[in-house]
Amino acid sequence: MIKSKDVLGLRDMTAEEIRHILDTAKTMKYILLTNNKKTPHLQGKSIVTLFYENSTRTRLSFELASKYMSASSANISASGSSVAKGESLVDTGRTIDMMGADVIVIRHPMSGAPHLLAKYVRASVINAGDGMNEHPTQALLDMFTILEKKGTIEGLKIAIVGDILHSRVARSNIWGLTKLGAKVCIAGPSTLLPPGIEKTGAEVCMNLQEAVREADVVMGLRIQLERQKKGLFPSAREYSRFFGLNEEVISLAKKDAIIMHPGPVNRGIEMTSEVIDHERSVINEQVTNGVAVRMALLYLLTRRRSNEAAD
Ligand code: CP
């Protein structure tokens, strides 16, 4: 059971809730891999995706998840809507609410925007990435992929490397993975490590090699050029030399370590092509699992709403 009406982040979610979502995603993955992907789980429900930032994976996977489960779905992007005429987030949310949306999936460049929206709408709100804060559905699909490959999360060493400062994916993964008992080791250029990050439960490593050594999972992060203030690292070539994942670095991890990246990847900067396409890379499976996890979330939130309405 998800306790809240909304899914805003993993910081405030319990280990039990996370396990329940991952268990439900297992059933959804089974449905996803069958020949007939149409199920009636969301019949009569409306899902709206409201994206103020670009996206391929997250938006499309929510849209496909809604369609596979027979919901009515619609998409609004900031540039083609009345947001471009100056309408506020709250007014936009209320407008969507009044049209009968059951779930609003929002991506926004400002940290906390989904939390604000959730206070003003009746619909359930799912955070699809807010500024540098959280990207909970990405972390859930990452955890689902690790569970599929490793059978457990507890006791694993998970290296998360790169632009930690700007990464909402890193933050959500640190909250979620540590709750499920993993040891999370982070590394990146000192200018891209936020002060106080160790308070989240992650261990800060001296360098890339220390983080990756004997790791069960190696997760690279995207260099977020759109959020970078100039001067946080000298050049892409320099970044790649010290923090890029290549086969030599990967050889320090356990022999059966898996390689992950949330995508989109800047090929040759965060990872070499050999690492992206490595036999132990699960980057493509992460994309498929994203649909299963989002199906699970939409199902659990709408079922919670139906149960509440019946009480
Ligand atoms: N991982 C991720 O959020 O990808 P998109 O920006 O393509 O949604």
Residue 61 CA: which ligand 1 atom is closest? Answer: 8
Ligand 1 cavity residues, CB under 6 Å: 55-58, 129, 138, 262-264
For the segment 70-84, the average pLDDT, to the nearest whole number, is 89
Strand, coil or helix: 9: coil
Q: pLDDT confidence of 75, banded at 50, 70, 90?
A: very high
Rounded distance from Cα 128 to ligand 1 centre (Å) = 9
∠ CA 167-77-93, rounded to 5°:
90
With beta carbons less than 8 A apart as the criterion, state whether 270 and 221 touch: yes
Tell whether the model's pLDDT for residue 62 goes beyond 90: yes
Q: Which atom of ligand 1 is nearest to the CA of 59?
A: 8
pTM of the model: 0.96
The CA distance from 174 to 234, in Å, is: 27
Predicted confidence (pLDDT) at residue 63 exceeds the cutoff of 80: yes
Local confidence band at 247 (pLDDT 50, 70, 90 cut-offs): very high
Share of the chain above pLDDT 90, in %: 85
- What's the average model confidence in pLDDT over 279-290? 98
The CA 229 to ligand 1 mean position distance, Å, reads 21
Q: Which residue has the tokens 């965060």?
A: 270
pLDDT at 198 over 80: yes
State residue 234's pLDDT score. Answer: 72
DSSP 184: E
pLDDT category of residue 35 using cuts at 50, 70 and 90: confident
> Given a cut of 70, is residue 227 above it in pLDDT?
no
pLDDT at 228: 64
CA 45 to CA 94: how far, in whole Å?
Answer: 17
Closest-lying ligand 1 atom to the alpha carbon of residue 107: 8
